[in-house]
Amino acid sequence: MLPSIHLFGFFELPLYGPVFIGAFLITLFFGSRIAPRYGVAKEDIVYGSIYGALGLIVGAKAVFFLTKLPDIISHWDLFCKLIKHAPIEAISYAFGGWVFYGGLIGTFFGILRYSRHFKVPVTPFLDVFAPFIPLVHGFGRIGCFLAGCCYGIEYHGPFSVQFPVNEFMPELHEVPRFPVQLLEAGLNFVMFGVLFTLLRKRKMLQGRMLGLYLVYYVVARYFLEMLRGDINRGKVGAFSTSQLISLLLVPIAILLLTGKVLPKLDESLKKKENCT
């Protein structure tokens, strides 16, 4: 666990942000190099990715807020007092975390907005972009491991991890834990390797790459949730929030895998452009 490093003896730099930004820059570099083979301009990959990143931030924060909303409503008087006396802490409580699925959905709508506004076909863009989603996510999970968030269940077997004392999460260091963040990072890197190989060989394209990624990830994520030990993830009945979203995304993933959804979306966008 290494949530931050000290620079110049006085400046503390949280590592999650730089890890994520580094992965994002890698995505821009390789994505812009391979995009022209599929009729996507390099600048569209760069600017479209920025739109996607903005959507990621909004979506991840919005869904995190939704997971906190039941607690906020049930303790409304306390939350109002917190807003009055410590507004920054109140905002941190309501929006201080990230939910990957919210970020993924936000990224899609950010890219869709870019494609529609600048008249860029969304199908080849997402075919090129999809392999890099698990790459960025994999680095993000390494950032989670360094920060000590999204931690695993109590576990005393091989590869267990004993986190140091963390005053913000006192339960974290009390027992050894399963390194679920690193397992998820590894699964994401494997998926990146598969998708990037298919991308370079021009296989599984025409709107299928995002579907292939989603089919793989929603299944993996559903079972990974069983290895999570953090208590602030939100629950809906017997399911965690992410498990429920995984189940809801299964039919969407299968439809995307057919390769018909995104081309139809491009056709509908063209019709709207012609009407205007």
Q: What tens digit of pLDDT does each residue of 58-90 get?
A: 999 998 898 888 889 998 999 999 999 888 888
- Cα–Cα dist 99/82, whole Å: 23
Q: Which amino acid does the sequence have at 217?
A: Y
For the chain, state the CA radius of gyration. 20
Give the residue among 17, 116, 97, 105 at the shortest CA–CA distance from 56.
105
Chunked mean pLDDT (size 10), the chain, 276 residues? 57 66 86 87 91 92 88 90 89 85 92 89 89 92 84 91 76 87 96 90 76 94 91 75 91 89 80 64
In this predicted structure, what is the pLDDT of residue 203? Answer: 61
Q: List pLDDT tens digits, range 160-178.
A: 988 887 766 777 778 899 9
257 and 212 Cβ atoms separated by less than 8 Å = yes
Q: What pTM was estimated for this model as a whole?
A: 0.85
In this predicted structure, what is the pLDDT of residue 21? Answer: 82
In this predicted structure, what is the pLDDT of residue 217? Answer: 95
- Report DSSP letters for the chain, one per residue: ---EEEETTTEEEESHHHHHHHHHHHHHHHHHHHGGGGT--HHHHHHHHHHHHHHHHHHHHHHHHHHHHHHHHHTHHHHHHHHHH-HHHHHHHHHSS--HHHHHHHHHHHHHHHHHHTT--HHHHHHHHTTHHHHHHHHHHHHHHHHT-S-B-B--STT-B-PPP-TT-TTSSSS-B--HHHHHHHHHHHHHHHHHHHHHTT-S-SS-HHHHHHHHHHHHHHHHGGGB--S-S-EETTEEHHHHHHHHHHHHHHHHHTT-HHHHHHHHHHHHHHH-
- φ/ψ of residue 7, rounded to 5: -115, 140
In this predicted structure, what is the pLDDT of residue 261? Answer: 84
